[in-house]
């Protein structure tokens, strides 16, 4: 299973993004993601209880700030890893839209593996 917010058509709700980033523990989790990590690794590194870490990861993923991917293993012990889904987030007030709050993401270019996974997903959908 893969949850990649960069593939979603609708932009995330600005309030949801700001709410996710307003939390200190969530910001520590984002800062710790220099490479994909599991919830357990993040819990230990950020000194946040595992149950809280899962809630923060869910909130950050729902706000389009994190990608979630699952490593499938033959032994059945699948591992979910999280990675940062942005290079930059810009929050602004759009004067032309009646001072509406907007959020824009600068996303990293997809890796070769991600492009291959996209192609494979598209092929599976067609069959």
Highest mean pLDDT among 11-15, 64-68, 90-94: 64-68
pLDDT value of position 127:
64
pLDDT value of position 103:
80
pTM score of the predicted model: 0.74
Q: Does residue 25 surpass a pLDDT of 90?
A: yes
Mean pLDDT of 75-85: 86
Q: What is the DSSP string of the chain?
A: -EE-GGG-SSPPPHHHHHHHHTSHHHHHHHHH-SS-B-HHHHHHHHT--HHHHHHHHHHHHHTTSEEEEEE--TTS--EEEEEE--SEEEEEEEGGGTSEEEEEEEPPPPPHHHHHHHHHHHHHHH-
* pLDDT, tens digit (0-9, with 9 covering 90-100), for 53-71: 999 999 999 999 998 988 7
Q: What's the CA gap between 30 and 32, in Å, rounded?
A: 5
Q: Check residues 30 and 71 and name the one with the higher pLDDT.
A: 30
Highest mean pLDDT among 51-60, 79-88, 93-102: 51-60
Q: Does residue 31 surpass a pLDDT of 60?
A: yes
């Amino acid at each position: 299973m893969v949850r990649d917010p960069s593939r979603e058509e609708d932009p995330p709700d600005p309030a949801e993004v700001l709410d996710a980033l307003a939390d200190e523990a969530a910001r520590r989790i984002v800062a710790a993601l220099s490479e994909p990590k599991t919830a357990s690794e993040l819990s230990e590194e950020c000194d946040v209880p595992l149950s809280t870490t899962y809630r923060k990861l869910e909130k950050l993923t729902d706000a389009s700030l994190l990608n979630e991917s699952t490593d499938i293993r033959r032994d059945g012990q699948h591992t979910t890893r999280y990675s940062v889904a942005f290079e930059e987030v810009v929050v602004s007030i759009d004067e032309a839209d009646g001072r509406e709050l907007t959020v824009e993401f600068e996303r990293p270019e997809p890796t070769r593996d991600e492009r291959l996974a996209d192609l494979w997903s598209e092929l599976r959908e067609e069959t």
